[in-house]
């Protein structure tokens, strides 16, 4: 009798056809077991790993800003690892699947987000930081405090539970918009709303995000055009956690000079940075 044996798990490698000089390194962290991601060859090194988290209510435009920042950082040759939460791992999938169907209890939802983050920290965030990469994550534990806090769990306890295992970001970019505007954007995005997104919930979530603003959190007005918001993002990151790198980089000397100019307001600096770096 013929026996059917389970087939070995297949590993697929996607190779993009791009000029060799531009892309050639494999970022193993992005492999997630099935697909290897080919990114630009890093040519610039940071003195140590830097962790940036982009946060905000749904529709705030934080993913747009995180993507713009990652593209810019890669374009100047930095070793960038970009990721998001919930992740694409098993816990992240479970969380996403539950969003459009039966909502988990606050406690079960919290347990799922924590399990997902523990895996993310151990397998991607910590190893990348240890090798000196710039790690950019779209959502992190500030989202747990804001969203699970909005479902009635204690925000202080949520913060403590996360800080027990998750590295504190060097900077959190908190993109802030009115919930009504955010919901209008989501409607335009055309993916429909889910159980996380309604006016009362987003208002509470926003309040909790704002309660977390401290020296590690850059509060950015996300109501303006995406490119204007991006000027602020660059200003806060380049004058904050990447200030040392900017000071040492020949290419970024015009930006370092801008930071020394006391006559310019922060808004003028943000505008000038975009001009100097030629980013839209």
Interface residue list for ligand TYD (CB under 6 A): 58, 63, 85-86, 113, 139, 143-144, 147-148, 196
Containing H/E element for 137?
strand 134-138
Using left for φ > 0, alpha for ψ between -120 and 50, and beta otherwise, residue 265 falls in: beta
Determine contact, residues 44/78, Cβ cutoff 8 Å.
Answer: yes
Rounded to 10 degrees, the C-alpha dihedral 105/108/114/116 comes to -100
Residues 141, 136: Cα–Cα separation, whole Å: 13
Nearest CB to ligand ADP, comparing residues 42 and 59 = 59
Query: Going by C-beta distance under 8 Å and a sequence separation of 6 or more, which residues neighbour residue 138?
Result: 54, 62, 63, 66, 82, 83, 84, 85
- Among 40, 53, 58, 174, contact with ligand ADP (rule: CB under 6 A): 58
- Among 64, 123, 193, 203, contact with ligand ADP (rule: CB under 6 A): 64
Confirm or reject binding of residue 82 to ligand ADP (CB under 6 A): no
Q: Which of ligand ADP, ligand TYD, none lies near 149, with the C-beta cut-off 5 to 8 A by kind?
A: none
Minimum gap (Å) between residue 145 Cβ and ligand TYD = 8
- Among 84, 118, 185, 216, contact with ligand ADP (rule: CB under 6 A): 185
Q: Which residues bind ligand ADP (CB under 6 A)?
A: 56, 58-64, 185, 188-189, 222, 225-226, 229
């Amino acid at each position: 009798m013929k026996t059917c044996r389970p087939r070995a798990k297949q590993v697929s490698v996607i190779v993009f056809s791009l000029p060799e000089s531009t892309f050639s390194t494999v970022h193993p962290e992005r492999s997630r077991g099935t697909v290897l991601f080919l990114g630009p060859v890093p040519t610039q090194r940071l003195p140590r790993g830097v962790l940036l988290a982009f946060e905000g209510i749904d529709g705030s435009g934080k993913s747009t800003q995180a993507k713009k920042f990652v593209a810019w950082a890669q374009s100047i040759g930095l070793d960038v690892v970009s990721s998001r939460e919930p992740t694409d791992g098993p816990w992240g999938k479970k969380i996403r699947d539950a969003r459009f169907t039966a909502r988990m209890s606050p406690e079960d939802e919290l347990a799922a987000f924590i399990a997902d983050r523990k895996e993310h920290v151990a397998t991607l965030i910590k190893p990348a930081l240890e090798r000196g990469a710039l790690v950019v994550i779209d959502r992190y534990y500030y989202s747990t405090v804001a969203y699970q806090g909005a479902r009635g769990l204690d925000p202080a306890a949520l913060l403590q539970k996360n800080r027990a295992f998750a590295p504190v970001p060097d900077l959190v970019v908190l993109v802030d918009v009115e919930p009504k505007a955010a919901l209008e954007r989501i409607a335009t995005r055309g993916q429909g709303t889910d159980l996380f997104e309604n006016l009362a919930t987003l208002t509470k979530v926003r309040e909790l995000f704002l309660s977390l603003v401290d020296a590690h959190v850059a509060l950015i007005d996300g109501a303006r055009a995406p490119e204007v918001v991006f000027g602020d993002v660059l200003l806060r990151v380049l004058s904050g956690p990447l200030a040392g790198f900017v000071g040492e980089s020949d290419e970024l000397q015009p930006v370092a000079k801008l930071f020394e100019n006391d006559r310019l307001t922060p808004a003028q600096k943000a505008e000038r940075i975009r001009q100097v770096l030629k980013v839209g």
